Amino acid sequence: MKCSTLFLLVVLALGTGCTANETQAPKAQFLGPSFYLYGDFGQTGRFPWTNGVTVIAAIHLGGGFTPFAGSKLFIHHADGTRQIFRRTSDGQFTNDVVLRPGDGVISPAGRIF
């Protein structure tokens, strides 16, 4: 029986189930440089980085924003620097930035009420 991460957490809480060999994370579908999308995107996680990929292109790769996404977008670069962008009222960005390998793009949730 193969164990998913959620199943593994339940198993650990209950104290039964998987052996050590079955709890290893699955291998990535690709190797090499990547960037990450976190937060309110259609799809989050690790994406392959290619030279010249921009934040807007990354958002499209992640399926766009969810309806709950806020107006701020945080870029955490692998070298430790950070940038903050805001979307305009029509959902557009005033500028775009080229991502580097290891960068993270974060879209926190906006106000629900």
pLDDT digits (tens, 9 = 90+) for 46-65: 999 999 999 999 999 999 99
Domains in the chain with CATH codes: 28-107 (3.10.560.10)
Q: Which residue has the tokens 């994406």?
A: 47
Q: Is the pTM of this model over 0.85?
A: no
Quick one: average pLDDT of 10-21?
Answer: 40
- What pLDDT was estimated at residue 39? 93
Quick one: average pLDDT of 105-113?
Answer: 78
Q: Which of 28, 27, 61 is nearest to 43 (CA)?
A: 61
- For 46, phi and psi rounded to 5 degrees? -95, 135
